[in-house]
């Protein structure tokens, strides 16, 4: 369960809102917590610039991370992140411990593939609509995917893809589908552009009018 992401942090004992504000303001560090497993929760801090750099990569959000706290390494995943509503500032991060034999639940992004060659778009003039950008999955840490692909190549106009249409990697299960067919939510569709049906109807009416005129001339 090795990780390409190694995050250096240090433990902290000064807790509370005031302590967190001082940590952000005076040390440019992000207060964070590690929880889960058989150990007690641990308060830590991470340099703000380091965490910002890691977060610039999408894979960081769905990877098993190595958290190096004062020389002690733990395997974790990022479970929550709090940002300032108005500033480009990270306020707090939550990390959850993981182990190789216990499944974890994560939100994984959906990557839509082959949209430019989609039958419903290229051949039928439709427009792709995304109903979901991520999916909640469960798996062992070793099976955690960076993202889930959604192949749009053969999707036609009027067709909707659902969770059950996804090709999940081996060992990965959809949380929603485990609850039953009623939770098989839509994730994407190809729709006729607004006005498309009206335009087609107008073309049909014009064709009928031309045919009527031809009949009169012949009589």
Nearest Cα residue to 29 out of 9, 15, 14: 9
pTM: 0.81
Percent of the chain surpassing pLDDT 70: 87
CATH superfamily of 104-197: Ribosomal protein L25, C-terminal domain (2.170.120.20)
pLDDT band (50, 70, 90) for residue 219: very low
- Comparing 138 with 27, the larger pLDDT belongs to 138
Tell me the pLDDT tens digit for each residue of 154-177: 999 999 999 999 999 999 999 999
Same topology, domains 6-97 and 104-197? Answer is: no
What is the domain partition of the chain in residue ranges? 6-97, 104-197
Sign of CA dihedral 208, 212, 217, 218: positive
pLDDT score of 17: 87
Give me the pLDDT at residue 196, please.
54
What is the C-alpha to C-alpha distance for residues 114 and 100, in angstroms, rounded to an integer?
34
CATH of domain 6-97: 2.40.240.10
CA 52 from chain centre, in angstroms, equals 19
Is 92 strand, coil or helix? strand
- Would the pLDDT of 14 be above 90? no
- Give mean pLDDT, residues 62-69: 96
CA distance 208 to 192: 23
């Amino acid at each position: 369960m090795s990780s390409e992401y190694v995050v250096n942090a240090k433990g902290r004992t000064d807790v509370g809102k005031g302590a967190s504000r001082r940590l952000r303001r005076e040390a440019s560090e992000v207060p964070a917590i590690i929880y889960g497993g058989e150990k007690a929760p641990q308060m830590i801090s991470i340099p703000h610039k380091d965490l910002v750099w890691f977060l610039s990569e999408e894979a960081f959000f769905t990877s098993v991370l190595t958290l190096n706290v004062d020389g002690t390494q733990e395997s974790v995943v990022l479970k929550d992140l709090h940002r300032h509503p108005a500033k480009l500032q990270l306020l707090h991060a939550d990390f959850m411990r993981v182990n190789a034999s216990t499944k974890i639940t994560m939100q994984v992004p959906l990557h839509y593939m082959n949209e430019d060659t989609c039958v419903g778009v290229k051949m039928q003039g439709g427009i792709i609509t995304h109903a979901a950008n991520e999916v909640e999955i469960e798996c062992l840490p070793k099976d955690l995917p960076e993202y889930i692909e959604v192949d749009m190549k053969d999707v036609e106009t009027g067709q909707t893809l659902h969770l059950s249409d996804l090709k999940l990697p081996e060992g990965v299960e959809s949380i929603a589908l485990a609850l039953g067919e009623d939770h098989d939510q839509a994730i994407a569709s190809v729709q006729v552009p607004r006005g498309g049906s009206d335009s087609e109807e107008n073309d049909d009416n014009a064709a009928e009018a031309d045919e009527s005129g031809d009949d009169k001339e012949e009589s």
